[in-house]
Amino acid sequence: MSDNTTEHPFAEFIRILGKGKNGSRPLTQDEAYRAMRMILAGEVEEIQLGAFLMLMRVKEETAEELAGFVLAVRETLPNIASQTADLDWSAYAGKRRHLPWFILSSLLLSENDIKVLMHGSAAHSASRVFAQDMLPLFSLAKANSFAEAERQLQVRNFAYLSLEQFCPALNRMIHLRNLMGLRSPVHTLVRLVNPLNAPYSIQGIFHPGYRPVHQEAALLLKQAHMTVIKGEGGETERNPDMQCLAQSVHAGELSEEIWPALFPRRHVKPKILEPEQLIQLWRGEINDEFAEASIIGTTAVALKLMAKAESQEAAQLLATDYWQKRDKSSY
């Protein structure tokens, strides 16, 4: 700890964010990069980290700040060739109203020769169902290293990499939610990390205002192809009861499109979530029109992102074909 007469180097960044209504400003991309480098290196006092995260939370992150944070995180990761994974899929929000049907979308893509790297965290909210905790239903294990994730992608076109494994410092920060009572910028930046440097990235957010920020940050990070949607519960999952605005980056160009609702009126949410229904639906043991539409609809957005289909209609038809022809005995 620094003495009382010498200013701590990290104080600069807290001052920029917290100098009052007229004196404060967002961090530049370079400042955000330097701040996150210090945090990840353990060069910040706990009280400073709490102040920094909450000041960022109050003002909300800019695209430049997110890009700077992500670049600092990526510096700590192995240099992975972009051919390892085709599609980067973040899963950090957890589901509260519906089951995480998007897991079946990712497995459907992997069954059709698309290498999907999903990354997320263990439960950091007691009221939500997290993808990581659903893996055992499908006899899937999270990868314990980057090398293992690469091997899993080669063997079955799907791997799950936990934040705890690839960036323990961020994992510790994301679990501060219960201590702070609020989410922090970590919940946003982890979605943009793309730890295996996949050429395609698909992301879900809950607050619509974050959609263009993700889009612009992806542009700053030179992500080749990315789509962000307001996903059900904040996950990368299309809600079939609502129209879905998808905002994308393709080779340096920004675009957006609206996917229509798939039902004329909304479904009633289940009273309780029964995770075993995920595997039961895959095996064809139960029927659920909302779940199937969610799985197919989410798969279609990913297929359109990856240029596997030229139009929404073609993507929807291809995703439906994938679902109808899935190997029900594979899990």
Asked if residue 220 and residue 111 are part of one domain, the reply reads: yes
Give the predicted TM-score (pTM) of the model.
Answer: 0.94
Asked if residue 183 and residue 136 are part of one domain, the reply reads: yes
In a domain, 159, yes or no: yes
CATH of the domain at 125: 3.40.1030.10
In a domain, 179, yes or no: yes
Asked if residue 141 and residue 192 are part of one domain, the reply reads: yes
In a domain, 302, yes or no: yes
The predicted structure's pLDDT at residue 175: 87
**Whole-angstrom Cα distance, residue 28 to residue 40?**
18
In a domain, 168, yes or no: yes
Largest CA distance in the chain: 69
In a domain, 138, yes or no: yes
Per-residue pLDDT of the chain (331 residues; tens, 9 = 90+): 546 779 999 999 999 999 988 899 999 999 999 999 999 999 999 999 999 999 999 999 999 999 999 999 999 999 876 679 999 999 999 999 999 999 999 999 999 999 999 999 987 666 789 999 999 999 999 999 999 999 999 999 999 999 999 999 999 999 887 787 777 889 899 999 999 999 999 999 988 888 999 999 999 999 999 999 999 999 999 999 999 999 999 999 999 999 999 999 999 999 999 999 999 999 999 999 999 999 999 999 999 999 999 999 999 999 999 999 999 999 9
Asked if residue 168 and residue 28 are part of one domain, the reply reads: no
Asked if residue 151 and residue 28 are part of one domain, the reply reads: no
Asked if residue 133 and residue 267 are part of one domain, the reply reads: yes
Asked if residue 133 and residue 26 are part of one domain, the reply reads: no
Asked if residue 247 and residue 191 are part of one domain, the reply reads: yes
In a domain, 80, yes or no: no
- The number of domains in the chain is 2
The predicted structure's pLDDT at residue 124: 65
Asked if residue 286 and residue 225 are part of one domain, the reply reads: yes
Asked if residue 92 and residue 36 are part of one domain, the reply reads: no
Q: Provide the domain limits for residue 34.
A: 11-59
In a domain, 114, yes or no: yes
Are 236 and 91 in contact, with CB atoms under 8 Å apart? yes
The predicted structure's pLDDT at residue 181: 75
The predicted structure's pLDDT at residue 3: 61
The predicted structure's pLDDT at residue 218: 97
Asked if residue 304 and residue 249 are part of one domain, the reply reads: yes
Asked if residue 55 and residue 91 are part of one domain, the reply reads: no
In a domain, 133, yes or no: yes
